[in-house]
Amino acid sequence: MARNRNRTPEGAPLPGDVLTVRIESIVFGGAGLAHLEDGRVVFVSGSIPGELAEATVDRSYPDYTEAAVTRVIEPSPDRVEPRCALFGECGGCQLQHMSYPAQLRAKEAMVREQLRRIGRLDEGRVRPIVGAAEPWGYRNHLRFSTGKKWGDVGFISRRGRGLLKVESCPIADPWVNDLLPHLQGKGAGLHQVQVRHNASTGSFLINPEIRGLHLPSGQKSYLEVLGGHRFAVSAAAFFQVNSAQAEEMVRLVGESLPARGEILVDAFAGVGTFAVVFADRFRSVIAIEESNSAARAARTNFAETPNVSLRVGKVEEVLPLLEVAPDVVLLDPPRPGCAPPVLESIIRFRPSAVVYVSCNPATLARDLRVLVDGGYNLDHVTPLDMFPQTGHVECVSRLTLADPGTLAALVSGFEVVPSDVPEEADGDPAADARRLALAKARAVAEGAPGAVVVGADTIVHDGERSYGKPGGASGATAMLHALRGRAHSVYTGVAVLSGGREMAGVSVSQVLLAPLSDAQVGAYVASGRPLDKAGAYAIQDEDVPTVAGLEGCYCSVVGLPLWKLARFLEEAGVPCRDPAATFARCGACPERPAQSPA
């Protein structure tokens, strides 16, 4: 239902009212967030976090008010003079008044906040934002509105009324700015003028045809270069507007995808950029694209990649009906994110990795939560500043199928809460593992009455001493040197607390650590992966030859004996997925109950 912009809710600030507010943060879209004394949310354009400012109300809605800064009382040291004379009137840029380092900090904080608040995800998974080397003169695709009477070209006012004639745009590609004077006066009778240009190919598109222009116009497509490949892009098809940052995006996606794989699904494939760039890593690639114009361009772009096939249709309709299960899915949806059938299909197919490219942190956080609840681990989220001077930010995320020995293998919708229980061993590894698992669960249960709480602890014992987490690189190195080439025992305690009832047990496995060289130990420790693992290694790190032999439960060595935990949870009334249906290893586990179906 459309909002009634002409009616102000009772008690809300009226248009033209002046508010004095303290800016708390920048939200997606570029406005500052503030609260009035009664708790009402105010979004303030032209503000910077920390500033005290007077803001004039544009309009109020039932749940928030929009306003614009008219006087800064306490300016931020990050405030700078905007380069554009139209800043504040034009709706294209929202952050020209902020220094570029401040913009990057605000955008990274924005992503962290959305993941934490909307997705209930660990914001520690957010990596530092990838900023632009050149935050000006980057935009190579612009759509100009036109004046009916004089034929001026420009942008619509921020408030949606009236044309702002644009003589030069500081974020536009220099080629576009050179073209602008020649477009002025030639827009009469046209709805919009679209301009695209690629500096590497020299190719350009000016659409529709404009009579009397000194350059050819009316082109139906032009050529882009990305990731070392050329792409035909039609006038109606989407392509990233910042060439340099698009290359950074390709780099981030490439780092997130596996080096080799069988079947990649490139959902929301557009003109086929990712499918073409990464086709050589997979036996076959299935590209899915809804737009007919983008699909036509994709067919042209796939001419030299015979292992790429194209399915035209909505991703939510095509993906569920795939006749093969992909081992990797690449998502690059529009701003609304993924429709539920897309995420449901991924969870059903269970690809080993999902790479998610997003232009909206809010819908990204929502979708990541669904995938995590469906059995995936969120490895990382990397913000990317594709649009400097604006309130928009891209993200590249990677999820991998939950390792055996993680709670996500059994249930969804849980929350991870640190217990802060000291992991101190008394000498009996079995008793210590059980005691610490119970202590962790009890500590969390105190603050979560009525919840079912799971606690776990793992101790490595070589017959003489116990090894917990190393606590640092030097400790990890010492542990690996002590254990390499030797057999040892891994004790994992697990406890479940529910309704005053306590269930606890210990799983014991025998492990032979590989005879790692000093160089292998050094490289492994430098990766950071052993630092939070008991004994300073992870059996699931299969790219590092840490384990030479195992007798017992693989999942217990990872950190959670799934069969034992599943029994406790079922007794607590929590339905669980069958471990054997989730991980093939669990079917042959010696801890599998005899009555469990094969």
What is the set of active-site residues? 359
State the DSSP code for 54.
E
Closest CA to 335 of 360, 361, 366: 360
Is the separation of the CB atoms in 290 and 336 below 8 Å? no
Tokens at residue 54, please? 């007077």
Number of H helices, E strands in the chain: 15, 25
Rounded to whole angstroms, the Cα distance separating 225 from 235 reads: 16
Rounded to whole angstroms, the Cα distance separating 32 from 17 reads: 18
Give the amino acid at 459: I
340 burial class (0-12, 13-18, 19+ CB within 10 angstroms)?
A: exposed
Helices (H), 202-336: 243-256, 273-277, 292-301, 315-318
Give the amino acid at 95: L
Host H or E run for residue 32: strand 32-35
Residue 584's alpha-carbon distances to 102, 381, 400, 595, in angstroms, are 48, 29, 16, 17
Radius of gyration of the chain (CA): 28
Cross-strand partners of 195:
142, 206
Q: What is 471-525 written as a DSSP string?
A: -SHHHHHHHHHHHTT-EEEEEEEEEEEETTEEEEEEEEEEEEE----HHHHHHHH
How do the residues of the chain divide into helix, strand and coil, expressed in percent and rounded to 5? 25, 30, 45
- HSE of 289 in the Cβ direction (CA atoms, 13 Å)? 23
First-to-last C-alpha distance (Å) of the chain = 52
Question: Residue 196 CB: number of other CB atoms within 10 A?
Answer: 23
Contacts for 291-294 with beta carbons within 8 Å, 24 or more apart? 291/236, 291/237, 291/238, 293/234, 293/235, 293/236, 293/237, 294/234, 294/236, 294/237, 294/238, 294/269, 294/270
Cross-strand partners of 72:
53
Cross-strand partners of 56:
18, 68
Rounded to whole angstroms, the Cα distance separating 414 from 292 reads: 41
Rounded to whole angstroms, the Cα distance separating 256 from 396 reads: 8
Rounded to whole angstroms, the Cα distance separating 169 from 389 reads: 12
Query: Which phi and psi angles does 154 have, rounded to 5°?
Result: 175, -150
DSSP three-state, residue 408: helix
Is the separation of the CB atoms in 219 and 206 below 8 Å? yes
Tokens at residue 195, please? 């301009």
Tokens at residue 43, please? 């979004």
Rounded to whole angstroms, the Cα distance separating 227 from 277 reads: 6
Rounded to whole angstroms, the Cα distance separating 434 from 454 reads: 12
Closest CA to 423 of 459, 390, 393, 392: 459
Q: What is 236-255 written as a DSSP string?
A: TS---SBHHHHHHHHHHHHH
